Structure formats: C-alpha cells, structure tokens
Amino acid sequence: MKKTISFLGLCILLLHLHITKGQAIVPMPVQIEKGSDDSVYISNRSVIVAKDAESKTAARLFSAYLQEHFSLDIPVVDDLFQQGMATNFWFTTTTNPDIPNEGYILDINKTGIKVEGQKGGVFYATQSLKQLLFFDANKKQYGFESWKITDYPRFAWRGMHLDVCRHFFPIEFVKKYIDLMAFYKMNTFHWHLTEDQGWRIQILQYPLLTEIGGTRKETMVEKIFKPYKGDGIPHTGFYTQEEIQSVVAYALERNVTIVPEIEMPGHSLAALAAYPELACSEGPFEVATTWGVFEDIYCPKEETFNFLENVLAEVCALFPGKYIHIGGDEAPKAAWKKSEVAQEVMKREGLKNEEELQSYFIRRIEKFVQSQGKSIIGWDEILEGGLAPNASVMSWRGEEGGIAAAKMGHDVVMTPGSHCYFDHYQGPKETEPLAIGGNTTLEKVYQYNPIPVSLNIEERTHILGAQANVWTEYLATPEQVEYMAYPRACALSEVLWSPVDKKDWSGFQERMKTQYILLKKMNVNARMK
C-alpha cells in the first residue's frame, strides 16, 4: 500500500513538472526578464538550426535529451530556408565581446528560441532551456514562456572532484557525473586517479601499476580500525587509456575540462606495492586496505623522478587541459628522515629540512610538467618549504593556504573542508548514512563565498574559483556518491556562477523544488530531505 502511494506521489510530482511555469533555473542567471510574448510551443515539426560545429554539438546533445526524457523528436539542421509554422531553435556561437567568457544570450519569443553564446555558452543556454521547459496539459504540448536571459559565470573554475581510488566507479558513472555537473554549469572535473588504496589509470610503460596497484585484497569494514576488521572482498578496477580518451571527449562536448591527479610524494602506496624500489625503505608493500596517511612515500631518488616523468608524460598526452594535479598533501617525512638517499639529496641540494626536500621534489616535477606544455596545481601543503615558481594551489585545510598563495601572486582554487568537502555529513549523524565526519549542510555550502575578505582587489584576481571534493572512503556505490554530491553541488554551482547580489537562500530553496523533479527524472539519487 505504502509503495502504491509513493508511486502515485511520484506520478503527481512528474505531472507537476509538466505543468510548472515560471523560472527555476539553478544556478540563477545574471539577468532574466519575462518577455512580452505568449508562451511558445514546440512539436515534432520544430528543428534546431545550428550552423557552427560547437552549436551543432550542443544542439545534438539537447535534441538527444528531449528525445530521451520527453519523446520529442527535434532534428538538428544546418539551415532553414522556409520558416514554416513551427517554433524553431536558432543556435549560434559568437565572439561578440559584449558577451563574457562562457556566457550566452537566450531570447524566447514568438519568432523562435534564439541563442547566441561564447565558447561553452550555447551549451549552457541549452542547460537553462532544459530547466525552463514546461508541459501544457490543455494543449498537450511542451513549451517555453517568453524569457530574455543574459548569463555568464562569476568564476572560471567551477569544480567537482571525484575520488575513484578509495572506491572504483565504472566509466559510465564517471560520464554521468560529468553530465550532471555540466547540467549545473560546472566546468572542471578533478579526477583523483591514484592513491594508497588503488592506482586507477593505465600507464603503458608501467603495467604493474594497474596489475598490482589496481587491486587491494579487501576493504576495512566501516570504521573498525582497531582491532582491524576487513571484509575479505578484493576491490579492483582501473581505466584503460582508451576509456580515458572517451571520457575526455565526452567532457569536452560538455564544456568540462578534466584535471587528472597523480599523487606525490605521499598517498602512493599502491604504486610502491607495484614498484617497491621507488620507496626509501625496503618493501614489499601492500595496497592499503584501511584509510588514513601512510609513512611509506616516494623516495626522492633519480629512479623515482624518472618513473614519475614517464608516468606524467603519458598523463599529459591523454588530457588536453592546462593543469595536472600533483597532489602534495599529507606526506609524512619520517621515511625521508630515516633514509640515507633522502638525506644525501638534502645535503647535495643544500636543503635545510624535509619540507624543503618536498619543495625540491615538487619543483623538479613542475619543471617537467611545464616541459610538456602544462602547469601544476597541488594541495596547499606544497606551500611548505617554498612554493614552486608557477604552481597553483588548491586550499583545503581552510582558506589560509589559498590566502597566502594569492598574496604571493599564485592562482588559487578554494576547497576548504568547512564548505566544500561533500564527504562530510549533511544532516544529523543519527539520520544519515555513515560518513567520514563533519557537518556541511546545504545551506552552509550555499552561504560560501570563495573570495576571502582579507585579500585586496589585485590578490582577489588570483582566486580562480572553488570546487567540491567527493572522497569515497565510505561511498562504495554510484548511488552513495550521488546522495553526497546532490543537492550540495547545486548550491555550489550557484556560489560559483551567480553574481553575489543574486544569491538568495529562500529563492534557491524554491527553485530546488523543480530541480529535485529534474534530478529524479535524470535518475539521480539526490538527498531529498
């Protein structure tokens, strides 16, 4: 009986979607005005006219969405010589300097649905259109109210991270995750690919990284560290380079840049299990089965640099974006303190302590990454011992690292644990699934401002944006990841896209009512409490 009612409830919800007019766009556009015309209706006689390659791609994706979710068959055409009776879409990519980067102008009136967008902008206009579509129950037709929207982002880095190492997720889910972040106009996917608990990217020169490092023998049950309890189930998985290329192409079509992360010098046990000669102490090492920080890290030997450069050369060739994330966080120095090799490097290079040795390590890696035409970004620990000359900093231990880096003239992405760690609880512990800790509610995320007040106007230009991190120690399935990421990613999308003066917590909550329906339609296991 209960099941029947909730199914009925769902039907009513879905029906509600179809009759909803009004604007429920998330993130809130920069400027949105009601046009003077009546609503326009689309039908299977409508077409999308898209002349340039980028508009065509956006149009094809939009058309596929309308087909999949609404059974609307709206073809993409190069040109239209006869207007006919139907309402058509007109998409154009522009370099019009009046439209800021990634921005678009959307005009819906009786002459059609017109979009003009910068690179990425036409795609974003289609995301807004998905959120404006309504169903007229009397006419039995889908349509749009007359709106005029001018829209562009507040920040250039609108990021979502996913840890695929603590738990591995299939390529199809990675694509769904990217599709969804793009739906909310996020544009940077930070793919955390290597860890103590698993190495997840195929490297052709070092097959053991995935053969040995891609599998751990089991996983700790819940938080039963002491005495340890394992589940006895091997956990395995990695992405082939071909699969990675398919994700890169998928992301590119959705205006998403991928930032791959190859962790060093810490969080590297899976690599050491495969190639123990890269450690300071003698192995053998095991791919970790518990969570935390481990003492064995890469040793600063020539052999290690050679290995990392070979790995990074393959990584740089796979990912077209500017940044390679080199980790840098949570690298205990005990192994280097005990190591003759490490101590000799310090002497040779005139380094005062192990923090400076880490800085030397990262500088060398930066030099190599730059030789491949890329830049490095790392967690805020890379400030310790001296920041590499061109490095960007991801500030996770609060905002202090980010503030310090911006004051030094380095670019920064804010991802403080307090607001941006989506592995934290989002409600009372007693009523939520097991999580790592913390309490980061939807409202707390919404209230975040990535620009620290202590920065002056010049320093503020170094804050590229912010990002949510989704660490997966306690998230073993795609459904669990979705539950932690949504709706909090919706709140962050508004933090990163919408002008500060457009932010409105109660308005956001109101618009989220429609978003919950859309999330359900897209089969997303969002938290709906």
Pairing of strands 31-34, 147-151: antiparallel
Q: What are the DSSP calls for 392-435, one per residue?
A: EEEE-SSSHHHHHHHHTT--EEE--HHHHBTTS-SS-GGGS---
**CB closer to ligand ACM, 88 vs 395:** 395
The distance of closest approach from Cβ of residue 192 to ligand ACM in the complex, given in angstroms and rounded to an integer, is 9
**CB closer to ligand ACM, 213 vs 328:** 328
The distance of closest approach from Cβ of residue 321 to ligand ACM in the complex, given in angstroms and rounded to an integer, is 19
- The contact set with ligand ACM (CB under 6 A) reads 329-330, 379, 396
Which tokens is 428 given?
């009372």
**CB closer to ligand ACM, 103 vs 260:** 260
Asked whether the bond before 265 is cis by omega within 30 degrees of 0, the reply is: yes
C-alpha span between 401 and 253 (Å, rounded): 33
What are the angstrom distances between the C-alpha of 151 and each of 32, 37, 321, 490, 501? 8, 21, 24, 17, 14
The distance of closest approach from Cβ of residue 394 to ligand ACM in the complex, given in angstroms and rounded to an integer, is 8
**CB closer to ligand ACM, 52 vs 329:** 329
What are the angstrom distances between the C-alpha of 270 and each of 79, 201, 302? 54, 12, 20
**CB closer to ligand ACM, 285 vs 379:** 379
The distance of closest approach from Cβ of residue 421 to ligand ACM in the complex, given in angstroms and rounded to an integer, is 7
The distance of closest approach from Cβ of residue 267 to ligand ACM in the complex, given in angstroms and rounded to an integer, is 8
Q: Which backbone phi and psi does 192 adopt, to 5 degrees? A: -85, 100
List, in sequence order, the alpha helices (H) in 206-353: 208-211, 241-253, 269-274, 302-318, 334-338, 340-349
**CB closer to ligand ACM, 50 vs 413:** 413
**CB closer to ligand ACM, 380 vs 459:** 380
What are the angstrom distances between the C-alpha of 135 and each of 34, 44, 63, 106, 424? 18, 14, 17, 20, 38
Nearest residue to ligand ACM, scored by beta-carbon proximity: 329
Q: Sort residue 44 into left (φ over 0), alpha (ψ -120 to 50) or beta.
A: alpha
**CB closer to ligand ACM, 218 vs 329:** 329
- Signed CA dihedral, 86, 87, 90, 91: sign only: negative
C-alpha span between 190 and 426 (Å, rounded): 22
Identify whether the C-beta of residue 162 lies closer than 8 Å to the C-beta of residue 177: yes
Nearest 5°: CA angle at 396, between 374 and 509? 105
Length of the chain counted residue by residue: 529
**CB closer to ligand ACM, 75 vs 398:** 398
The distance of closest approach from Cβ of residue 82 to ligand ACM in the complex, given in angstroms and rounded to an integer, is 58
Identify whether the C-beta of residue 363 lies closer than 8 Å to the C-beta of residue 369: no
C-alpha span between 51 and 307 (Å, rounded): 46
The distance of closest approach from Cβ of residue 380 to ligand ACM in the complex, given in angstroms and rounded to an integer, is 8
**CB closer to ligand ACM, 330 vs 356:** 330
The distance of closest approach from Cβ of residue 398 to ligand ACM in the complex, given in angstroms and rounded to an integer, is 12
The distance of closest approach from Cβ of residue 520 to ligand ACM in the complex, given in angstroms and rounded to an integer, is 31
**CB closer to ligand ACM, 467 vs 493:** 467
The distance of closest approach from Cβ of residue 330 to ligand ACM in the complex, given in angstroms and rounded to an integer, is 5
3-class DSSP assignment, residue 168: coil
**CB closer to ligand ACM, 253 vs 330:** 330
C-alpha span between 270 and 467 (Å, rounded): 26
Give 450-458 contacts, CB < 8 A, sequence gap 24+: 450/155, 450/414, 450/495, 450/496, 452/399, 452/402, 452/403, 452/406, 454/403, 455/403, 455/406, 455/407
The distance of closest approach from Cβ of residue 43 to ligand ACM in the complex, given in angstroms and rounded to an integer, is 50
The distance of closest approach from Cβ of residue 491 to ligand ACM in the complex, given in angstroms and rounded to an integer, is 20
